[in-house]
Amino acid sequence: MYDLSTHVKAVTRVNFFFLSACCLAWALLPAYEDWWGGLMIGCAASLINARHLAWKVTRASANAAAHGTKRVNLGYLTRACIALLAVVLATRTYTFQLPAVVTGLIIAQLATLILGFFASRKLAQMEITDERGETN
């Protein structure tokens, strides 16, 4: 069975690992601090967007399971505003590189895609049987 909260935790771990790697790279290569800082701000915004989307999907699925009639959107405008806020913060306040911020904004989505492939591959390799533990 696929569990969304487990997948979100794995994506969060990957993002924190990437943020740690950016901090180390910033310490080891301070000449490129405008690139590392942009990656870190983009990655943080990407993580916020991924967790927000997971929350919205959970709400939408709970509404559907309860046969609710309430319409639930997935918050695209909110996530776009978070990404825009990260770009403005990184370029206007800290003068980080815009390509680095945009690259950081896709980290969580890339981690979701890769971890999803691994999860589906693992699920396909599992031997599924219809047995319920009954003996003949």
Whether 119 has a pLDDT exceeding 90, the answer reads: no
Cα Rg of the chain, angstroms: 19
> CB count, 10 Å around CB of 89?
15
What's the average model confidence in pLDDT over 19-23?
95
Q: pLDDT tens digits for 102-114?
A: 999 999 999 999 9
Residue 82: helix, strand or coil by DSSP? Answer: helix
pLDDT at res. 12:
94
Average pLDDT, the chain: 88
For 35, half-sphere exposure in the C-beta direction (CA atoms, 13 angstrom radius) is: 10
Q: Where are the domains of the chain?
A: 4-121
**Out of 93-97, 98-102, 131-135, which region has the weakest mean confidence (pLDDT)?**
131-135
- What tokens appear for 99 in the block? 């390509």
pLDDT in tens, 57-85: 999 988 888 888 888 888 899 999 999 99
